[in-house]
């Protein structure tokens, strides 16, 4: 099976590398050339022109946001009829719907397959994949999704629903990050140990990737290198707010989160991990 892969960012590179390592014929492309060296080392080819990637039976994309995906969308319609486009990124449900309509009009199947997991999880091929779209198209790429993930959840026939689940999952993670930020800030303010607090919580009440991984980063104030940049966190909180407002559901914590993300950006933290919103809470508590 010949595979095209668009987007050699933090998540795209390890996913493409795993596909190449598994023996698939993978051709990769990135808007900024030169980022695919460690994928090419495993047998992939790097295309200088986007069109060279699109003439494949399956094309994956892992682009940052709606704007990046929309910029490539006109070119995606040049893919061959009968091919499958798998969008691994967190985009808005509206963008997912527009992509499905535009591609299906050209005889191209669109599968939304956003993933849960940071770069190290992608490297290990242990991502959680949320797949939605034409059932036959998902069947056709199921073996590929098994390479990049530990489990694929089938969300339904409507691609938008996979994006809704991903957005709400990220919203829950953002709330957990802020809850840990507040708890560790209080512990530090009263002379306790944020690291000990999180060690106890992870051992007893909250075992699992979110509290263990982010809890350690927050307690140690270690936000670099960024596995998920802070502006992307703000994007996902705003996507959650938009979905909730469209459904006449209030998300009071979401408005607080948006304010904290903006505070962090105003203090020059755009290149840090989204767990760095912790610093906004620390600043408000008068900590250095």
| 284 has a pLDDT exceeding 90 | yes
pLDDT grade for 49, boundaries at 50, 70 and 90: confident
pLDDT of residue 11: 95
- Domain spans of the chain? 2-157, 164-284
Q: Which two tokens stand for residue 145?
A: 């999704």
Region for 213 from its dihedrals, namely left if φ exceeds 0, alpha if ψ lies in -120 to 50, beta otherwise: alpha
pLDDT at position 88 over 90 = yes
pLDDT digits (tens, 9 = 90+) for 101-139: 999 999 999 999 999 999 999 999 999 999 999 999 999
At 155, is the secondary structure helix, strand, or coil? strand
Of all residues in the chain, what percent carry a pLDDT higher than 90?
A: 86
pLDDT at 64: 82
pLDDT greater at residue 278 or residue 78: 278
CATH, domain 2-157, list 2.40.30.10, 3.40.1280.10, 3.40.50.720, 3.40.50.2300: 3.40.50.720
Measured CA to CA, the distance from residue 227 to residue 209 in angstroms comes to 14
Tell me the pLDDT band of 72, cut-offs 50, 70 and 90. Answer: confident
CA atoms within 13 A on the CB side of 124: 10
Residue 281 CB-density burial (10 A; 0-12 exposed, 13-18 middle, 19+ buried): buried
The β-bridge partners of 28 are 5, 46
| CB distance 12 to 44 below 8 Å | no
3-class DSSP state of 226: coil
CATH of domain 164-284: 1.10.1040.10
Query: Which residue in 10, 244, 242, 44 sits closest to 115, CA to CA?
Result: 10
**Between 55 and 84, the higher pLDDT residue:** 84
pTM above 0.75, yes or no: yes
Q: Answer yes or no: is pLDDT of 74 > 80.
A: no
- The DSSP output letter for 80 is P
**Within 10 A of 162 (CB to CB), how many other CB atoms are there?**
26
């Amino acid at each position: 099976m010949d595979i095209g892969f668009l987007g050699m960012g933090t998540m795209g590179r390890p996913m493409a590398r795993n596909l190449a390592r598994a023996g698939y014929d993978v051709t990769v492309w990135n808007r900024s050339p030169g980022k695919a060296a460690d994928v090419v080392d495993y047998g992939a080819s790097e295309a200088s022109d986007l069109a060279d990637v699109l003439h494949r039976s399956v094309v994956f994309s892992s682009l940052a946001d709606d704007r990046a995906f929309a910029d490539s969308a006109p070119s995606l319609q040049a893919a061959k009829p009968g091919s499958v486009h798998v969008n691994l990124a967190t985009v808005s449900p509206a963008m997912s719907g527009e992509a499905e309509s535009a591609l299906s009009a050209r005889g191209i199947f669109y599968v939304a397959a956003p993933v849960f997991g940071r770069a190290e999880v992608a490297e290990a091929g242990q991502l959680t994949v949320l797949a939605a779209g034409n059932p036959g198209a998902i069947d056709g790429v199921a073996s590929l999704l098994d390479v990049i993930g530990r489990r694929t959840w089938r969300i339904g026939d409507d691609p938008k629903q996979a994006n809704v689940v991903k957005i709400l999952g990220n919203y829950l993670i953002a709330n957990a990050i802020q809850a840990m930020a507040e708890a560790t800030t209080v512990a530090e303010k009263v002379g306790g140990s944020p690291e000990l607090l999180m060690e106890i919580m992870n051992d007893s009440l909250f075992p699992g990737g979110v509290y263990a991984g982010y809890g350690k980063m927050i307690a140690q104030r270690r936000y670099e290198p960024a596995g998920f940049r802070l502006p992307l966190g703000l994007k996902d909180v705003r996507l959650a707010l938009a979905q909730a407002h469209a459904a006449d559901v209030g998300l009071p914590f979401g408005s607080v989160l948006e304010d904290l993300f903006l505070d962090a950006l105003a203090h020059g933290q755009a290149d840090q991990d989204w767990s760095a919103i912790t610093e906004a809470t620390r600043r408000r508590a008068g900590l250095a």
